Chains A and B, each alone.
Chain A
Amino acid sequence: MLLLIAGTMSVLFVRNLFVATMLLGIVSFIMALIFISLDAVDVAFTEAAVGAGISTVLYIGTLALVGSQEKDQPKFAAGPLVICLAVGAVLYYATYEMPRFGEANNPVHTHVAPRYINDSPTEIGVPNMVTSVLASYRGYDTFGETTVIFAAGIGVLLILRQRRRRKNEDDETDVPLDEGKTGRSGSLTGLGSQHDLIPHVIAKLLIPFIFVFALYVQFHGDYGPGGGFQAGVIFAAGIILYALVFSLDYARSVVSERAILFLISAGVLLYGGVGVVSMMLGGNFLDYNVLASDPVAGQHLGILLVELGVGITVTAAMLAIFYAFVGRADLIAAKAEQEEN
């Protein structure tokens, strides 16, 4: 815990944004360890994969585009500090009204949670309660969140893939993304150096295991910690590793951008489709009981399909965001080269 505070303080004071990003990754990882000690294994899983993995890649991708040095400025800002301290003081005062940490009869634990804990094993038949609450009891929420991820992925694509119009040249107003080939200086596509043997060998060894692990997490989420969100992120991380070590063109030839656009919507449609099918079979929207002959088997099937939909959307959205950032760097590099000529 104290390590965590030290980490965040250093994130605040470090000038170089690159170092700050690395420290943020470390903070996320420490947080994941704390989550494990607080019994939240699923959350720790996600935090480690997302916070320490994907978000670091995204920040570095941004820094490659915007430069990593923060402008010098006065270290001390009085106004914000006062506001922060005031907010902190109010919250500190409020903690004395909070129920004590870790007691079983706190209000949090007496509302709907006992029902989830006591009834979900018989109603849903899935040992991991987090999965059953996520996909079944709170299926609407999860559907909404998958849609948010879908929207964010589309939003990033819209913002970053928008083709720039150059002011001084009239006819060729568009630079097609496909022109970003390897080997341009400053291009992120050429990031995967062709000559570094060790990363190549190690990546080749690791990537199959990452994919197998992602599939395990995806389909074993009913029984152990895991599920669609985590599996999607791990799967995307595997492909991003491939793109970083080899080159983006190789990764694009494995999973093309068109395929990503297709998958990102296919996941949401699969989730919604399960809901529609259950309505057609006479149940409510996202009521899995009717999907199979007996309710428990129906719940199993429904959760499996829904988690698959979540996993597909998350993978595709993460990849879309990554491709968009890297493709942007290519676009800029291509433009700079054209201006030189």
Chain B
Amino acid sequence: MSFGFFNYWVFIILLMIGLYTVMSRSNLVKKMIGLSLFQISVFLFYISMGKISGGTAPIVVDGPLDTAAPIYSNPLPHVLILTAIVVGIATTALGLSLVVRIRESFGTIDEEEILEMKDGA
């Protein structure tokens, strides 16, 4: 199957875009957005690993089963990513609040401008 690695490739592309955003943009909010993209790509990677073809969501089916034993996808990556998403938003909020404070102290959220100020002072 030629699409065997397709999800992984999408993950790599997303990860590269996120990394590039973090490194190339000097605006701090844009950097946070880049970090979020990076994070999302890693989530995709984990969930892709947990998938089993022909499987179903890992919730036990009650009642009569038409197949002998349903195949469940791996619940473990789901658990890890589930908590990672919520922790991710909490840490993103922490980062954004730092951005707000930087804006109040320096009057700008552009990294290069802040560095220039520091050199001038």
The B contact surface, by secondary structure, is: helix
Complex Cα distance, B88 from A157, in Å, reads 17
Complex Cα distance, B93 from A233, in Å, reads 14
B43/A43 in contact, CB under 8 A: yes
Complex Cα distance, B40 from A181, in Å, reads 38
Complex Cα distance, B3 from A27, in Å, reads 22
- Chain B residue nearest in CB terms to A107: B49
A40/B94 in contact, CB under 8 A: no
Interchain nearest-CB distance for A223 vs B (Å): 8
User: Which of A5, A51, A81 is in CB contact (< 8 Å) with B85?
Assistant: A51
B17/A9 in contact, CB under 8 A: yes
Q: Say whether B4 faces chain A, with CB atoms less than 8 Å apart.
A: yes
Contacts of A207 in B (CB 8 A): none
B5/A98 in contact, CB under 8 A: yes
A58/B96 in contact, CB under 8 A: yes
Complex Cα distance, B93 from A112, in Å, reads 34
Contacts of A233 in B (CB 8 A): 86
Q: Count the B residues whose beta carbon is within 8 Å of the partner chain — how many?
A: 81
Complex Cα distance, B14 from A234, in Å, reads 27
B72/A58 in contact, CB under 8 A: no
A17/B27 in contact, CB under 8 A: yes
B87/A77 in contact, CB under 8 A: no
Contacts of B87 in A (CB 8 A): 145, 148-149, 152
Q: Given A20-B30, A66-B29, A38 and B48 touching (CB < 8 A)?
A: yes
- List A41-88 residues whose CB lies under 8 Å from chain B: 41-43, 46-47, 50-51, 54-55, 58-59, 61-63, 65-67, 70-71, 73, 77, 79-81, 83-85, 87-88
Interchain nearest-CB distance for A6 vs B (Å): 11
A8/B51 in contact, CB under 8 A: no
Complex Cα distance, B25 from A234, in Å, reads 33
Q: Given A1-B6, A5-B14, A31-B44, A77 and B33 touching (CB < 8 A)?
A: no
Interchain nearest-CB distance for B118 vs A (Å): 17
Contact with A along B25-61 (1 / 0, CB 8 A): 1110110111011001001100111111101111110
Contact with B along A6-46 (1 / 0, CB 8 A): 00110110000100110010011001001100111111001
B49/A43 in contact, CB under 8 A: no
A155/B94 in contact, CB under 8 A: yes
B83/A35 in contact, CB under 8 A: no
Contacts of A201 in B (CB 8 A): none
Q: Given A31-B40, A38-B47, A62-B96, A24 and B30 touching (CB < 8 A)?
A: no
Contacts of A325 in B (CB 8 A): 96-97, 100
Q: Count the A residues whose beta carbon is within 8 Å of the partner chain — how many?
A: 100
A20/B33 in contact, CB under 8 A: yes
Contacts of A109 in B (CB 8 A): 52, 74
User: Which of B34, B86, B93, B97 is in CB contact (< 8 Å) with A145?
Assistant: B86
Complex Cα distance, B23 from A11, in Å, reads 15
Q: Say whether A282 faces chain B, with CB atoms less than 8 Å apart.
A: no
Q: Say whether B79 faces chain A, with CB atoms less than 8 Å apart.
A: yes
Known: A8-B18, A12-B17, A117-B58. 13 other contacts (CB 8 A): A8-B37, A40-B77, A58-B93, A80-B24, A84-B20, A98-B8, A106-B49, A113-B75, A128-B58, A133-B79, A148-B90, A149-B87, A159-B97
Q: Which 6 residue pairs are nearest across A and B when measured between Cβ atoms?
A: A102-B53, A80-B23, A152-B90, A77-B24, A39-B73, A127-B60
Interface residues of B (CB under 8 A from A): 1, 3-10, 12-21, 23-27, 29-30, 32-34, 36-37, 40, 43-44, 47-53, 55-60, 62, 71-79, 81-83, 85-94, 96-101, 103-104, 109-110, 113
A-B contact pairs, 28 of them (CB 8 A): A1-B10, A5-B13, A11-B17, A17-B27, A38-B48, A40-B51, A40-B77, A46-B86, A51-B36, A51-B40, A66-B29, A66-B100, A71-B110, A79-B23, A80-B24, A84-B23, A87-B19, A91-B12, A92-B12, A101-B4, A104-B52, A104-B55, A108-B76, A129-B59, A152-B94, A155-B94, A317-B90, A325-B97
